[in-house]
Amino acid sequence: MKKTLIASVVALASTTMLCAPAMAQETYFPIIAKGFSHQFWQAVKLGAESAAERNGVSITFEGPNTEAEIDKQTDILNAAIAKKPQGLGFAALDSQAQVPALQKAADAGIPIVAFDSGVESDLPLTTCTTDNMAAAAAGADGLAKAIGEEGEVAAVIHDQTSATGIGRRDGFLNRLAEAYPNITVVDVQYANDALKATETIKAILQAHPNLKGIFASNEGAAIGLAVALKETGSGIVGVGFDSGKTQKDAVRAGELLGSITQNPVGIGECVVDSLAKALAGETLPTTIDTGFYWYDATNMDSPEIAAVLYD
């Protein structure tokens, strides 16, 4: 009888030890961004951290050093999935190539929320993003009006593989084609970081002396645009996308006409809030539009706009 009692106690203790970690397990979401080379991602991180504290969950915010490192981001994604988190936030550098890795997460029962750039798949429960087509169209409107709705323009797009790059390129080009028949797009080039964008834009300016304006589709490209226009003394109109101190200073100084800003803090909050809702069994919409705004020197200090600009 004594042996039986001891065996029962040992068995109960073993069961308790096995169950304890599961009961005490903290809800954990890895949030994987496109990179850290732009201040935009730091603003997204702030939003995600705020929502994590509000929801009582733990997060990590990870990504490659630059937005050119698709393979590195895929490695980070696979490592995060291997930790068996309770949810996953992901901003894809390649809307097609990274679907197989996300399939592993889905097969493991891990809820996925895409942000900024979605993927060509229904694996994510939702995507927290700017309507990039509409946002770039607003940039096209700003540029078109500034040049009198006629003349030659060009665009520098941050990439041709992500949903944001494709959406902003097509949104800009489509709007010009639909609404401004007297504007001709003479060149579309690709550059993600400021240094490459600067050199790319200088080459565009040299090749097209009658150019009236350039659209740059993200923070790095916009900074490169401001630098190129300043260094060449070109008087053409520059329109950017995103925010950050350097870009805001260029708008204030008149080196750029204006830019489109997203709501990066809101995007970060949306990702974590959506994952928490998914775990609670809530149904999420296919897409959550986090908004965008046009800003220039006349409105960037207004409360509504200042709230979504970042340094």
Report the Cα 216 to chain-centroid distance in Å.
15
Per-residue pLDDT tens digits for 186-200: 999 999 899 999 999
The band of 129, judged by pLDDT with boundaries at 50, 70 and 90, is very high
pLDDT of residue 246: 95
Q: State how many domains the chain has.
A: 2
Note whether 149 and 248 are same-domain residues. yes
Angle among Cα 165, 166, 172 to the nearest 5 degrees reads 90
- Mean pLDDT taken over the chain: 91
The reply to whether 9 falls in a domain is no
Domain that holds residue 149: 132-261
| R_g of the chain, CA atoms, integer Å | 23
Alpha-carbon gap, residue 282 to 163, rounded angstroms? 26
pLDDT reading at 2 higher than 80: no
Per-residue pLDDT tens digits for 8-47: 433 433 333 333 333 347 899 999 999 988 889 999 999 9
Report the pLDDT averaged over residues 77-106.
96
pLDDT of residue 13: 39
Note whether 137 and 126 are same-domain residues. no
The reply to whether 18 falls in a domain is no
DSSP string, 220-276: HHHHHHHHHHHHHT---EEEEES--HHHHHHHHTTSSSEEEE--HHHHHHHHHHHHH
CB atoms within 10 A of CB 137: 22
